[in-house]
Every structure is written in C-alpha cells, then in structure tokens.
Amino acid sequence: MRDSYRPGARAAWRHNSLTIVFGLLLALFVVGQAVSGLAEYNETARTDGLQQISMLRYLSSSSFAVDLLENWQSEYLQFTLYILLTVWLVQRGSSESKKPGDEGRGSEEEQLLGRFARPDSPRWAQQGGWRRAVYSHSLVMVMGVIFVLCWSAQAVTGHVAENEQRMRDLLDPIGLGDYLAGPDFWSRTFQNWQSEMLAIGSMAVFAIYLRERGSPESKPVGMPHDVTTSDD
C-alpha cells in the first residue's frame, strides 16, 4: 500500500530527505573542491611567477571544469553499466543482485506493463508501441546521455587546460584530436573508471557477508550469507 503524501515542509523533508541531503553534500563538496583547487592553482602560479586569479575566474576556468567533469562522467558510467549488467548478471548472496534464475528483463506481469499495469502506473507503461519501449529503457538512456555529455565536456575542457599549460611552458598548442590520443586525457579517464569499478564490485561482494542494519542496500542482519534478498 502506498504511503499517503501530506503537503508541507515537514512532509517534503520526510519524503525527499535522501535527495535533499545528497544535494547539500554535493554543494558542500563542490565548494570544497573550488576552495582547495583555487589555492593549488594560485600556489602553482606563484611558483611559476604568474598572476594569481580570483575565485570567480577559477570557477569559469577549464582547470576547474575538467577536474569536476572527469569525476561526474565516471559516476554516470558506473551506474549506467551497473543498471545494464544487473539485468543479466547476478551475484548469489548479494543484496545488490537479483537471485540466480531471475536473469533477464522480466515478464510483462512482473514489470506491470500493458494489461498488468496498475491504475497509478506511469502512462507510458500502460501504453504499447514505442512509448513503452522508450520508457522501459529510459533510466539507462538518460544516464548514458549524461555520461556522454560529461565525457565530451571533459575532453573539451581538458584540451583547453592542456593548451594553457603548454603556453605557460612556451610550447605550441595541440589540436583536439591530438589531445584525445594523448596520455593526459586517458590518464584522467582511466584513473576514474578503475576506481568506480573497484567501488561497485567490492560493494556487491561485501554485501554478501557484511550488514548495515536498516539500510535497503544491505540484507537483514540475520540473513544467511548465501541467500540473496530476493530469494523466497
């Protein structure tokens, strides 16, 4: 049975507290990155005998943007892959996985599609054709588009930042194609990708044997290790 939703500030916090807290943490960490990044940038500028810049100038710089975007793109890649791979791949005993035997996209009845849809189901889930097909994959589509946009923006801002550094070193600038084939772009990319794969892979395994009471990301504390949360 669905929870009743009552309007008001207290109800809004109760029903959206997870999103609100993560939004506030995001803002806090971006501010922290900006402050520490500006300090590092200006320290390097002083060492090189160059002019220091203001916070506003730093926030609009390619140096800040590339550092921000290289982390964002890797996070969206992580979850895009995770959403896709968990359709077909399982880890027995992990709360992050479906149980073995449940691989696949599920029946229309399981997914509440078409004639199995509830009266309050999303409209496109109740309909057929391209609307249902699009909505059935809308989460991965949106996450994937955001990943591509962030990765593309990282490439552009990284290229600008690289050429700024080359100009300070009295070197000729390079083209975008040369930058994309060079070590800076791929070093930034791979160091983020590998950390995301480590985090999500270890989470799937740790969730077999470790618990956090009350968290939906954990099995019940007393559940056996080899039982997946979706097991009967």
Q: What is the pLDDT of residue 170?
A: 84
Q: What is the pLDDT of residue 38?
A: 96
Q: What is the pLDDT of residue 1?
A: 45
Which regions of the chain are under pLDDT 50?
Answer: 1, 232
Q: What is the full DSSP assignment across the chain? A: -PPP---SHHHHHHHHHHHHHHHHHHHHHHHHHHHHHHHHHHHHHHHTT-----HHHHHTSHHHHHHHHHHHHHHHHHHHHHHHHHHH---TT-TTSPPTT--SS--TTTTT-GGG--TTS-HHHHS-HHHHHHHHTHHHHHHHHHHHHHHHHHHHHHHHHHHHHHHHTT-----HHHHHTSHHHHHHHHHHHHHHHHHHHHHHHHHHH---TT-TTS--TTS-TT--TT--
Q: What is the pLDDT of residue 7?
A: 64
Report pTM.
0.87
